[in-house]
Amino acid sequence: MRISLITGANKGIGFEVARQLGGLGEQKVLVGARNEERGRKAAAALRAEGVDAAYVHVDVTDAAGLERAAKRMEREYGRLDALVNNAGIAILDWNLRPGRVPLDVVRRTYETNVVGVIAVTDAMLPLLRRSAAGRIVNVSSRLGSLTVTSDLASPVSRVNLLAYNSSKAALNAVTVAYAKELAETPIKVNSVNPGFCDTDMASDLIAAMGAGRGVRTPAEGARAAVTAATLPDDGPTGSFFGDEGPVPW
């Protein structure tokens, strides 16, 4: 049985990743969430569907809490086979030009989307090293692609979110750094692009850009993360891809 932890798994893409991984069978899915009530409710909903799921308290901005979670997982499972860093925030500053975005917005975004991912990864890495086929999946975005966002012919380039876009670009750099560090181990580290999904995080942006235009479901957005979490031994590492293929850095 594989043990998988998904952060931010109480709703949206994270919940769908947990559901799809659990549906593969021979999977223990750990629903990481900072809100205990919502996390337990999500885990119960998954169990009602036949998924072997349990709640784990995970607040990516709480280092001490992450250590407690890792110790609990060590006691109960002994290892971790897949970590899906899905938790993230988007403080939608799209009405503000980059030069007018409050620095507090940038700091808060990076604290979750970049520093939080590093904190979770570092806390869980000893457990991942015990796996015969460890996988680290960072849920990124095309908005973190410098190639895509600098292409003025791409509609994506119109979404000029200073804090969010740059945090996902930084997350991609984090992916490359860990992939290089772990290149001589069985652990694979990749970024994935879920696409533009209809989630709570994206609701305001969807309304601004035109509801329904190119919007994917959370279930569709989860597919790339599930693929990356279950890559075979000859799968890629240090890559950025969606379910439609590679995404340029």
Q: What are the catalytic residues?
A: 164, 168
Where do the H-state alpha helices sit in 129-234?
A: 146-149, 162-181, 203-209, 218-229
Q: Which residues contact 149 (CB under 8 A, 6 or more apart)?
A: 142, 143, 156, 157, 159, 160, 165
CB count within 10 Å of CB 100 equals: 9
**Whole-angstrom Cα distance, residue 241 to residue 142?**
9
Alpha helices in 129-184 (DSSP H): 146-149, 162-181
Q: Is the dihedral of CA 146, 150, 153, 156 positive or negative?
A: positive
Q: Is-contact 198 219, C-beta < 8 A? A: no
Distance CA 13, CA 36 (A): 18
Q: Choose among 235, 221, 248, 229: nearest CA to 12.
A: 221
